[in-house]
Amino acid sequence: MKKSFKITLVAAFAIFSLFSCGKKDSKDIETVATPTTEETYEENPIETPVATNDLQIESNDQMQYSVTELRAPAGKITLTLKHVGKMEKIAMGHNLVILKPGTDISDFALKAVEAKDTDYIPASEKAKVIAHTKIIGGGESDVIEFTIDEPGTYDFICSFPGHVSMMKGKLIVE
């Protein structure tokens, strides 16, 4: 009895498999072509930042600056860095370091990993730094004042370990 049950079960499975793999009737399927259009968003056009001596920039818990380009006229500059995240600085600290032109960012970042006691500003690289904020955590901010008289493009980075690849930008001094 067990043998005949197994044979019946195998036969039923085979018949089911054959019918389920059969060709569908193509007259039931209707194809409709729809034109595609490319959407453009004019609501939030990318604007060139306005040059100002009072710069504001935010950082967050997703390792991002709010902007990647800052503009300022040559002279005295005030910069405010505000960490809008919630994480403590030991886990998600941020700073903003403005580097002199020609500074190797990767080399600077590698050396910064070892400089926890100096807010990740390595003593051996201090001559390559124009200005920097302190390391701040969620809800904190820091304000710095510095002078750049020479028009040009200056890199800025977060030197907290592992952040430089995502947290970098340009300060354009006009």
Digit-coded pLDDT (tens) for 154-167? 999 999 999 999 99
pLDDT for res 174 = 96
pLDDT tens digit sequence for 104-133: 999 999 999 999 999 999 999 999 999 999
Residue 68 vs residue 52, higher pLDDT:
68
Domains belonging to the chain, first-starting first, are 54-173 (2.60.40.420)
Lowest mean pLDDT among 14-18, 96-100, 110-114, 141-145: 14-18
pLDDT of 2 over the 70 cut: no
Please name the residues in contact with 54: beta carbons below 8 A apart, sequence gap of 6 or more.
78, 80
pLDDT for res 38 = 43
CA terminus-to-terminus distance, the chain: 94
H helix or E strand, kind and range, residue 75 = strand 75-83
Band of residue 52 on the pLDDT scale cut at 50, 70, 90: confident
Cα–Cα dist 129/12, whole Å: 79
| Torsion angle, alpha carbons of 83, 138, 142, 113, to 10 | -90
pLDDT for res 87 = 97
pLDDT tens digit sequence for 54-80: 999 999 999 999 999 999 999 999 999
- Whether the model pTM is above 0.85: no
pLDDT tens digit sequence for 5-51: 566 555 555 555 555 555 555 455 555 554 444 433 344 445 567 88
